Amino acid sequence: MEFFECMGGEETIRKIVNAFYPKVMAHPYLAPIFPDDIEPLIEKQFQFLTQFFGGPTLYTDLHGNPMMRARHAPFPITTERAEAWLACMHSALEEVVPSHEVRAIILDRLKGPAYFFVNTRE
């Protein structure tokens, strides 16, 4: 079975993004750089993560080449913010993904991109 099916497909991705963004918006390092209206971002992240984990190419179909590092360039992303983002994701995964093994794979695949998006020291 492909990893995407194994992790529960779009249904699980939906649960992850719904659990994740309230944590981001409650985080003192992260909240200030995110928009007040988080709904459009939740939708884009759903589309992106679906594609990223091997599901249908929802993000590219709607928004073109992801070029995620470039799309993050307007926002000051420090190492502390990358770690905070990953910590919010870790705790969202603990809420909605029962398998420890699956959680570890998801987090591990997001670590590289998160640190890669770091674009400033402060």
Contact residues toward ligand HEM (CB under 6 A) are 30, 33-35, 41, 44-45, 48, 52, 63, 68, 71-72, 75, 77, 81-82, 85, 110, 113-114, 117
Residue 8 or 66 with smaller CB distance to ligand HEM: 66
Dihedral (Cα; 4, 18, 42, 107), 10-degree rounding: -50
Shortest distance, CB of residue 39 to ligand HEM, whole angstroms? 11
Residue 8 or 76 with smaller CB distance to ligand HEM: 76
Q: CA 97, CA 94: separation in Å to the nearest integer?
A: 6
Shortest distance, CB of residue 54 to ligand HEM, whole angstroms? 14
Place of tokens 């992303």: 77
DSSP-based three-state secondary structure for 7:
coil
Residue 37 or 101 with smaller CB distance to ligand HEM: 37
Residue 13 or 110 with smaller CB distance to ligand HEM: 110
Q: How many CB atoms lie within 10 A of CB 91?
A: 12
Nearest to 4 by CA among 52, 62, 57: 52
